Amino acid sequence: MESDSRRPKIPTSFSERVAAFVTRRNTLDFPSREDVVLEGTADPPLTFHNELPPEESETGRSFIRWQYHKPGAEDSLEPEILHRENLAKAIVLPATVICVPIALLAGTLLALVYIYKVKPVTNLFTPKGTEVQGPGFVLVNFSATRLVFVASFLSTLAPLLGSFILSLFALPISRKLREESEKAQYLRLPTPFQMSLLIGILVASAQQLRSYLWYLVRRRRVSSISPVLHAAASMMLLSLFLAGGVFIADTALHYTTSTIEFDQISIPPQPVQELGRGLSDFCLKFNRTNLGLPCSVDQDATQPDPNANSEMIETSRLLHDTSQTSQIQVTAVDELDDAHLAYLGPEQQTVRPNTDYRATTIGISTECRLVNPSSCGMVLWNDYYTNFTCTDMFHGTLGMPPNFSTSANESRPPDAYRSFLMYKPAPNLMYSFFNESGLKNIYNTVGYNDFNGFDLSILPYSDSQLVNPFYMGLAVRMSTTSGQFMPGSQMVQNNTNSTFLANGVVDFVLDCAIFSYDVSYTWVEGELQDMNIVRTPNGSVLEIFHGYQLYSTISGGDPDLQSFLTQSSLSGTTTDAFLQAFGSLYSIKVLSTIGGYTSARMSLAEQQRDRMLLSKVPLPPLAILIAWSLSYPILGLVLALQAYRASRGNIRDIAAKLSLLGLSQAAFGENRKGTSSGGTTSRVDVAEVRRHEARRVVVDGSARQGFEFAVML
């Protein structure tokens, strides 16, 4: 047999408890006017009087009295302020949760942006790509993924703060309920249904907020809505509005933040690299008046060149693009319509990586034109040779081998099939240099005769007499059947204005002008950005190449021209393509000789690019996100101040009951029989309920009769 103490206790139904609760606790007593006068002399009766005070001046004082009310009991609580421990729990803790975490996150985001902010330096040159500077965004040297990850915590945290906001707002709501109850402003107090909505909203229930909104728009509504319910709903809507603003701003920041390649510019106080090119000091100081020879010919014993050997090696390396210090590049410039410019620059391996610079150098261009065969009197001789006579100083026979001499004293023997001071390296190539267009006056700057010697009657040219440009006439024969031309090339077509066709060969004459320029150019991001060219005032620079062409042999020691002609014929099908290609190749040849006698020059301007991946953070969504986030600390401080002011007068008792825990304790708590001093559920009851819970709420009833909650005693 089990003892009675182990038998389950008889459950008390929820309806019985509520009835007892209403009967014993909630009986209202409206005293009469006489009772008001004699208030404090006797206990109020247990009956309910429905007599309202007649004078409006007395309506400001509460006539609602609980049956257990003793005069002076409330007055003893009026000056009470929350104990420090309760103050920390009720106000400081929620306010801290609202203010501190989101402020720290917003501050962290701002700190990351401004600590790692990259301030673009003004570019010395026009950047190759799109300029990324602007007022609408900030560049951050921090991973965009990590940056927006930090920002996402703001939108995650913001919705969680709504319950803490409403927890703080419960104290002003409680104060308002008490004041309106004391003033007997019954129409401003909530109905039981509105009270359920109020409690649900104060615990941040979205379902109760939806019910409130539906209740608000209902047309058939008997009771007016209490202002405290409006205030609580407005505060919850405000918290949702703030959370939505943070979410939208965070989404916009995620969508608009991007990762870009950016070149940070560092500019030294003075250029530090010698990336320009100019004539060497030896050539600048060289005096050619003795023999008329340039600095590239080391035959003047009074001016020996200590670097002659290395300069000749550099000349060969430049021609074959194997130099370790300099490099010849060819480009088109606006000032030259019919030719390209060859200019001397540093070998790219010697330039510091990611360097942009502006420098000066030397440039050469060659412009060629085809001479009309009829003006040169081209005629076929013996069905194989072609005689031509352009001028008295430029005539000969194409196809006739050059007359070589075996005598050391006569390296240039007389030849009836060539003109004065003409080079004839092969039967199909003859060329001479002139000081003007038209191929009339030989450009004899040294004073040579045609027999490997100096003509004392011909004085060398002074520097002022050297010309820029000088001209070169070429008489050329090429085969039309050996694949030297592109199919359909205009050079092998029957064009009597430019070429002479005969028996599987094409003969033509070129009149080429060779120019020298002082060049200034800008090199940005590994490419030529712009270039300015100015023709040099005289032919001193060109003479380094021209004077190097010694008339010691009939061939001139120049086997490159035939290779240039073949390369040019395969460069395209048009005549212009052939002429431009040959001009560029010859410009490289001229510049390679001059480049061997140059030295480095300091750059005019220089900057270093440090390429990095940056986060491009737009300022508008960032500012909006920070502003929305910082509105939470402001709201938290305002609510904390209001809650502190409202906490006087034991308001915490009311606030404790405006919760699900307080409502549950009022219905099912151990003090339902009036064990508390006031016969109601106190703040201590609500606070201690989790420590001393022993009873359980059960479901009582049947499927037929219905169900209700009851407490297991």
Half-sphere exposure of 407 (CA within 13 A, CB side): 8
Residue 329 parent element (H or E): strand 326-331
Q: Where are the beta strands (DSSP E) in 347-460?
A: 355-371, 379-381, 385-391, 394-398, 423-426, 429-434
Find the mean pLDDT for residues 321-334.
Answer: 93
Looking at residue 21, what is its pLDDT? 44
* Nearby residues of 641 by Cβ (< 8 Å), 6 or more positions away: none
Round to whole Å and give the CA distance between 474 and 338: 18
Find which of 80-94, 126-140, 625-639, 670-684 is predicted with most confidence, using mean pLDDT: 625-639
With a cut of 90, say whether residue 653 has pLDDT above it.
no
Report the SS3 class of residue 346.
Answer: strand
Looking at residue 333, what is its pLDDT? 93
More confident residue, 516 or 44: 516
- Residue ranges covered by each domain of the chain: 99-261+614-668+694-712
pLDDT in tens, 401-430: 888 766 666 667 777 888 888 888 888 999
With a cut of 80, say whether residue 64 has pLDDT above it.
no
Extract the tokens encoding 135: 């007022």
Looking at residue 24, what is its pLDDT? 47
Q: Which of 656, 663, 693 has its CA nearest to residue 173?
A: 656
With a cut of 90, say whether residue 242 has pLDDT above it.
yes
Among all chains, which residue has been given the structure tokens 């429905």?
Answer: 50
Are 421 and 471 within 8 A, CB to CB? no
Find the mean pLDDT for residues 302-313.
Answer: 89
Looking at residue 391, what is its pLDDT? 92
Find the mean pLDDT for residues 176-184.
Answer: 82
More confident residue, 36 or 90: 90
With a cut of 50, say whether residue 77 has pLDDT above it.
no
pTM of the model: 0.67
Find the mean pLDDT for residues 170-175.
Answer: 86
pLDDT in tens, 192-217: 888 888 888 888 888 888 888 888 88
Looking at residue 70, what is its pLDDT? 44
pLDDT-derived band at 702 (thresholds 50, 70, 90) equals: low
DSSP class per residue in 583-649? HHHHHHHHHHHHHTTEEEE--SEEEEEEEEEEEEEEHHHHHHHHHHHHHHHHHHHHHHHHHHHHTTT
With a cut of 80, say whether residue 235 has pLDDT above it.
yes
Proportion of the chain above pLDDT 70, given as a percent: 76
Cis omega (within 30 of 0) for bond into 469: yes
DSSP class per residue in 113-180? HHHSB--PPPPSS--SS-----TTEEEESS-HHHHHHHHHHHHHHGGGGHHHHHHHHHHHHHHHHHHH
Looking at residue 408, what is its pLDDT? 60
Looking at residue 205, what is its pLDDT? 86
Looking at residue 482, what is its pLDDT? 81
pLDDT-derived band at 671 (thresholds 50, 70, 90) equals: low
Find the mean pLDDT for residues 97-110.
Answer: 95
With a cut of 80, say whether residue 30 has pLDDT above it.
no
Round to whole Å and give the CA distance between 181 and 657: 15
**CB count, 10 Å around CB of 691?**
6
With a cut of 50, say whether residue 53 has pLDDT above it.
no
pLDDT in tens, 86-100: 676 778 889 999 999
More confident residue, 622 or 59: 622
Proportion of the chain above pLDDT 90, given as a percent: 42
pLDDT-derived band at 327 (thresholds 50, 70, 90) equals: very high
Extract the tokens encoding 126: 């026009």
With a cut of 70, say whether residue 169 has pLDDT above it.
yes
pLDDT in tens, 387-403: 999 999 999 999 998 88
Looking at residue 398, what is its pLDDT? 92
Q: Helix, strand, coil proportions of the chain in percent (round to 5)?
A: 40, 20, 40
Looking at residue 3, what is its pLDDT? 45
Are 439 and 473 within 8 A, CB to CB? yes
Minimum mean pLDDT range among 170-179, 221-230, 613-622, 656-665 = 656-665
Find the mean pLDDT for residues 578-585.
Answer: 94
Round to whole Å and give the CA distance between 347 and 615: 35
Cα three-residue angle 458-463-466, rounded to 5 degrees? 70
More confident residue, 672 or 661: 661
Mean pLDDT value across the chain: 80
Round to whole Å and give the CA distance between 238 and 225: 19
DSSP class per residue in 497-539? TT-EEETTEEEEEEEEEEEEEEEEEEEETTEEEEEEEEE-SSS
With a cut of 90, say whether residue 589 has pLDDT above it.
yes
pLDDT in tens, 527-567: 899 999 999 998 999 999 998 887 777 766 667 888 999 99
Extract the tokens encoding 689: 């309920």
Round to whole Å and give the CA distance between 583 and 259: 47
